[in-house]
Amino acid sequence: MNPPTCAQALAAAQTLGLDRLDAQLLLLHALGKPDDARAWLLAHDTDVLTEKAAEDFRAMCLRRAAGEPLAYIVGHKEFFGLALTVDARVLVPRPDTETLVDWALELLRTPAMASAPAVLDLGTGSGAIALAIAHSLQTSGRQGTVTAVDASSDALDVARDNAVRLQLKLGFIQSHWLKEVSGHFHLIVSNPPYIASADAHLVDLAYEPLAALASGSDGLDDIREIIAQAPGHLLAGGWLLLEHGYDQAEAVCALLAREGFVQVQSRMDLAGIARCSGGLWPGGQGIGAGFQTAG
């Protein structure tokens, strides 16, 4: 069979069940063109693909049709304006998580965090959150340190490669949550696993690392552990911010309050779902009178 035209290739992808945008992005990838070249595709409907491009495109469509995330197939995902390299070693960064970054950046703009804040990202995966924060500090010419923690050395490799490629400075620690971490921070953020281990939704996420998704029978095992450990690593007046499931805000706020956090509150994602909760740690290792409560 002769290689198809662009239009024919896209039509064939849609018969496999791919949506149009995914098919266009995969075709651009097969043609070695950037994601933002969709206008080019429209103008080249009748161009005939090379044998190789047609073959590559078909193979990628089959992977996508089987449920593999687009980001793994093309090898990258945009998060907070940063092009991150991702593969099956890490969770695909979700737009929901930008809510957590927005909140973190808002806190980092308060006077309490004005001078060289120390930020910790637990379960960094691709490095998405840590890199978005580091990028913001770096582009606004601010001092400060961002340390990325993950239990998985594979994930740390991905995060490190992203940091090098984006020329952003991060510290890295391999640790199960705060176990191997020493020192105290102004801000601890995390998008931990939070899906209940028997949740039917996990079937749809089978290509992504289960350890980054599931967390015990109610999905809160890791969040409980982080909330219990965080006070030992927060400066007085420091904040802990956690992403969680759509129905977990109340439970997470209760855990934070019970641990002694104050100003406990939640933030909504773009879909209007309470997606992150956090609180201020009032006690512990004080960093002096200059560090007022934020929020």
Residue in the structure block whose two tokens are 């080019």 = 40
CB burial of residue 290 (10 Å; 0-12, 13-18, 19+):
exposed
Determine the Cα–Cα distance for residues 73 and 89; give it in Å rounded to an integer. Answer: 13
| Count of Cβ atoms closer than 10 Å to residue 7 Cβ | 14
Q: Give whichever of 99 and 147 is closer to ligand GLN, judged by the CB atom.
A: 99
- Report if residue 47 touches ligand GLN, rule: CB under 6 A: no
Complex with ligand GLN: residue 22 or 269, whichever CB lies closer: 269
Shortest CB 34 distance to ligand GLN, Å: 26
CA dist 227 and 173 (Å) reads: 19
Query: Which residue, 54 or 158, is less far from ligand GLN as judged by CB?
Result: 158
96 binds ligand GLN (CB under 6 A): yes
Q: Which two tokens stand for residue 269?
A: 């994602």
Structure tokens at 67: 């449920």
142 binds ligand GLN (CB under 6 A): no
Give the DSSP H/E element, type plus range, for residue 243.
Answer: strand 234-243
Which helix (DSSP H) or strand (DSSP E) does residue 242 occupy?
strand 234-243
**Do residues 248 and 219 lie in contact, with contact meaning Cβ atoms separated by under 8 Å?**
yes
The dihedral formed by the CA atoms of 173, 179, 180 and 186, expressed in degrees to the nearest 10:
70
Cβ at position 168, least distance to ligand GLN in Å:
22
Taking the C-alpha atoms of residue 278 and residue 222, their distance in angstroms, rounded to an integer, is: 15
Q: Which is nearer to ligand GLN, 114 or 273 (CB)?
A: 273
Rounded to whole angstroms, how far apart are CA atoms 291 and 203? 45
To ligand GLN, the closest distance from the beta carbon of 214 in angstroms equals 8
Q: State in angstroms the smallest separation of the CB of 262 from ligand GLN.
A: 25
Q: How far is the CB of 24 from ligand GLN (least distance, A)?
A: 23
User: How many residues contact ligand GLN, by CB under 6 A?
Assistant: 8
**Toward ligand GLN, which CB reaches closer, 56 or 208?**
208
* Residue number with CB closer to ligand GLN (30 or 155): 155
Q: What are the DSSP calls for 64-82, one per residue?
A: HHTT--HHHHHTEEEETTE
Nearer to ligand GLN, 28 or 158 (CB): 158
Spell out, one character per residue from 201 to 230, where the chain touches ligand GLN: x when CB under 6 A holds, - when not.
Answer: ----x-------x-----------------
* Six-digit token string for 120: 């910790």
The residue among 193 and 279 lying less far from ligand GLN, judged by its C-beta, is 193
Per CB under 6 A, contacts with ligand GLN among 174-203 are: 191, 193-195
- Options 58, 63, 76, 94; binder of ligand GLN; rule CB under 6 A: 94
CB of 212 to ligand GLN, least distance (A): 6
Tell the smallest beta-carbon distance from residue 242 to ligand GLN (Å).
10
How many Cα atoms occupy the beta-carbon half-sphere of 122 within 13 Å?
A: 27
Binding site for ligand GLN (CB under 6 A): 94, 96, 191, 193-195, 205, 213
